Amino acid sequence: MDVGSISKVKVILEISGKGVSQGHIVRHLSPLTSSAILKSLPIQRRANKFKDRFVYIETELALGREKQRTNFKRGDLAFMTFHGSICVFLNDTISTPMNPLGVVTTHLEMLETIVPGDLITINRQS
What does the pLDDT look like over 41-92, one tens digit per residue? Answer: 999 999 999 999 999 999 999 999 999 999 999 999 999 999 999 999 999 9
Closest CA to 55 of 67, 43, 47: 47
pTM greater than 0.85: yes
The count of residues in the chain is: 126
62: how many CB neighbours lie within 10 A of its CB?
8
- According to the model, what pLDDT value does residue 126 have? 79
Instruction: Give, in order, the Cα–Cα distances in Å from 23 to each of 36, 62, 86, 125.
Output: 17, 23, 13, 9
Percent of the chain with pLDDT over 70: 96
- For domain 8-124, the question of CATH label 2.40.100.20 is answered with yes
